[in-house]
């Protein structure tokens, strides 16, 4: 990959980190997509044309890449070249007219309310690490926050008097999410048992800040120790949070605000989950619900 491309990619990823507040995991994905593209095309950014981009997309289809992967790469290229245009490095964005491939939207995995309750009620909190791990699960489910938001949650963002947490989301946008007294008491217990200085709520064994990969590893270890068969990730818990709210009658716009989605169209995928459940109930309980 040409040196000039490396310099532009570095500038772009620093922009994502500092101005857009993207997680390290997301930035690594962008960087990987750009490296793949420039390794294939072998041209400087300033010489890239729309034809080059379309040839690369055709190549991705030829090697049978998943459409979701191709769409992510298209989005990365569109945003990258838009950044270069904004910085006046190029005059026009060659990716602006690229259209994403149509995909069948996959419903997100989620846990039932019984599964979540069974999980949370049976987690240990005998020592400080068990208590921290339980707090990770409880925070994710009580607020629906992203894993990147969780690791950056600061102690001073917890409002004990108003039973709420202030979450710093994508694009430095803050939102306030209410939490219950039980979770607040768990946080207080964690504070009392972990006497430390520092601004972040969750820490590693050595007292250092946690990162998204640490949270994923902790969740995987806890689930394995509890002999649960499902593959649970932070996103699984976030999806469960949204699904359970809608199943119990929450307004879609309210769920959008709680999740920190910029568009309600992103939140609407959860209505499909609720509809599938309603269909099952209708078929089971309506006198003529099983008609063919």
Catalytic residues: 146, 170, 235, 238, 261, 270
What is the C-alpha to C-alpha distance for residues 188 and 182, in angstroms, rounded to an integer? 10
3-state SS, residue 158: strand
On the CB side of 177, how many CA atoms lie within 13 Å of its CA? 28
Q: How far is CA 81 from the centre of its chain?
A: 24
User: 65, exposed or middle or buried, with CB in 10 Å at 0-12, 13-18, 19+?
Assistant: middle
Assign residue 287 a region (left: φ > 0; alpha: ψ between -120 and 50; beta: otherwise).
alpha
Distances in Å between the Cα of 27 and the Cα atoms of 47, 94, 247 are 24, 22, 34
Q: In sequence order, what are the residues at sequence separation of 6 or more whose Cβ sits closer than 8 angstroms to the Cβ of residue 192? A: none
Give strand pairing partners of 194: none
Question: Residue 154 carries which DSSP code?
Answer: B
Residue for token pair 């294939």: 40
Give strand pairing partners of 165: 158, 177
DSSP secondary structure letters along 177-214 = EE--HHHHHHHHHHHHHS---SSBS-B-TTSPBP-HHH
Q: In sequence order, what are the residues at sequence separation of 6 or more whose Cβ sits closer than 8 angstroms to the Cβ of residue 257? A: 175
What is the C-alpha to C-alpha distance for residues 245 and 22, in angstroms, rounded to an integer? 27
């Amino acid at each position: 990959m040409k040196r000039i491309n490396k310099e532009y990619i570095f500038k772009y990823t620093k922009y994502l980190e500092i101005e857009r507040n993207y997680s390290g995991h997301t930035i690594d994905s962008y960087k990987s997509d750009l490296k793949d593209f420039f390794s294939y095309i072998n041209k400087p950014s300033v010489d890239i044309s729309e034809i080059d981009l379309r040839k690369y997309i055709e190549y991705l289809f030829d090697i049978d890449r998943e459409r979701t992967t191709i769409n992510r790469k298209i989005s990365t290229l569109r945003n990258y070249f838009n950044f270069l245009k904004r910085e006046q490095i190029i005059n026009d964005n060659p990716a602006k007219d690229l259209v994403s491939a149509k995909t069948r939207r996959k419903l997100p995995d989620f846990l039932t309310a019984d599964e979540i309750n069974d999980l949370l009620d049976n987690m240990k909190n005998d020592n400080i690490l068990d208590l921290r791990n339980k707090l990770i699960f409880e925070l994710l489910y009580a607020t629906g926050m992203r894993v990147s938001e969780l690791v950056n949650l600061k102690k001073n963002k917890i409002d004990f008097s108003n039973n709420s947490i202030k979450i710093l989301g994508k694009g430095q946008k803050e939102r306030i999410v209410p939490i219950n007294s039980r979770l607040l008491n768990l946080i207080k217990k964690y504070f009392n048992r972990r006497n430390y200085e520092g601004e972040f709520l969750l820490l590693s064994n050595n007292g250092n800040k946690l990162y998204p990969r640490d949270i994923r590893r902790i969740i995987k270890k806890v689930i394995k120790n509890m002999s649960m068969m499902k593959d649970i990730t932070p996103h699984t818990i976030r999806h469960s949070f949204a699904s359970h709210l809608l199943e119990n009658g929450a307004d879609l716009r309210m769920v959008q605000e709680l999740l920190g989605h910029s568009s309600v169209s992103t939140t609407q995928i959860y209505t499909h989950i609720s509809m599938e459940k309603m269909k099952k109930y209708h078929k089971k309980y309506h006198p003529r619900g099983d008609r063919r």
